[in-house]
């Protein structure tokens, strides 16, 4: 095949996991060109499309100046991506591809909170058999901060449990889902909630929005879940609310910074359950991230509109 019939795509990623054999087979006329994420870009590297990290890399600006018109980031959130390097290029992301495993993680956190697990496991004869003050998701109120793909997937999975659900969004437009009301007033949304799930993108408007005031608006004993970005929650305000006994529990899959340094208070606070940003993981997670780019690559090569285009002004 003549080289003019081939399409160069720049692969500017850590780890060497892309392209998979399946992706290579799907695109026999594409040359996937690996590009280091730091240091000089080799001579002759050129391509109209680039798949890269959803984060700042050492040589991204130089990579983008090698003919790139379309940039795809391997992830959903673009808050770590240096938008100042983008120029007039199109930016897409893997929006919603791992919403299901994240939603499952949220539901697991709500169930373990309601059923007081793992605290209710016994390794010796307990004080009481049979009796316990366990809670329930049936009739519980769940407030969503943001109602994008992840919180939508969570709401779908909570509906059979009989939860009452309300979503705080920028527009307040109808949710499109039975049993989920909406509001633009986040304080009103969280006021009666047993569980509050943070699922908004990190933008200048949402950074630190879960602050002393919003935590105080939650009812005593409420459970905060964050699967979005650590910087949406003011962690010192969170600590004050937990220490005062107002907030009952915080289940966090994200924090600030990441990785969290040894000795940080989030590791050993008795009212915090912390996981290391793994809620997205399941057996198909990486393949779905690859497929999100591959599906758009097919559209790009056919001259069709791309999907999951980032609104750079809005930040997501």
Catalytically active residues, by annotation: 229, 258, 277
Distance CA 316, CA 199 (A): 12
Distance CA 200, CA 282 (A): 22
3 state DSSP class of 204: coil
**Cβ atoms 271, 251 nearer than 8 A:** no
Alpha-carbon separation of residue 265 from 111, 221, 239, 268, 272 (angstroms):
25, 20, 9, 6, 9
**Cβ atoms 227, 279 nearer than 8 A:** yes
Work out whether the CA dihedral 105, 111, 117, 122 comes out positive or negative: negative
**Cβ atoms 274, 266 nearer than 8 A:** yes
Work out whether the CA dihedral 64, 69, 72, 78 comes out positive or negative: positive
């Amino acid at each position: 095949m003549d080289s003019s019939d081939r399409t160069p795509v720049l692969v500017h990623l850590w780890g060497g996991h892309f392209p998979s054999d399946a992706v290579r087979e799907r695109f026999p006329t594409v040359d996937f060109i690996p590009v280091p994420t730091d240091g000089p870009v080799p001579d002759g590297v050129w391509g109209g499309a680039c798949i890269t990290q959803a984060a700042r890399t050492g040589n991204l600006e130089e990579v983008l100046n090698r003919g790139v018109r379309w940039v795809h980031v391997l992830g959903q959130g673009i808050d770590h991506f240096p938008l100042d390097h983008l120029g007039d290029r199109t930016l897409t992301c893997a929006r919603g591809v791992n919403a299901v495993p994240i939603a499952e993680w949220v539901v697991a956190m709500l169930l373990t909170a309601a059923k007081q697990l793992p605290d209710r496991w016994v390794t010796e004869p307990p004080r009481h058999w049979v009796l316990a003050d366990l809670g329930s998701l049936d009739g519980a109120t769940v407030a969503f901060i943001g109602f994008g793909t992840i919180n939508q997937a969570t709401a779908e999975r909570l509906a059979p449990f009989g939860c009452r659900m309300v979503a705080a969004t920028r527009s307040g437009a109808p949710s499109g889902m039975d049993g989920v009301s909406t509001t633009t007033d986040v304080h009103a949304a969280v006021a009666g909630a047993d569980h509050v799930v943070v699922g908004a993108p990190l933008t200048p408007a949402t950074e630190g929005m879960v602050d002393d005031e919003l935590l105080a608006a939650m009812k005593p004993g409420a459970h905060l879940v964050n699967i979005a970005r650590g910087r949406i929650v003011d962690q010192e305000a969170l600590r004050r609310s937990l220490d005062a006994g107002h907030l009952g529990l915080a289940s966090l899959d994200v924090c600030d910074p990441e990785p969290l340094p040894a000795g940080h208070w989030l590791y050993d606070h008795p009212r915090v359950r912390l996981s290391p940003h793994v809620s997205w993981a399941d057996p198909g997670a990486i393949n779905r991230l690859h497929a999100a780019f591959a599906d758009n690559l097919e559209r790009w090569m056919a001259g069709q509109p791309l999907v999951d285009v980032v609104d750079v002004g809005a930040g997501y």
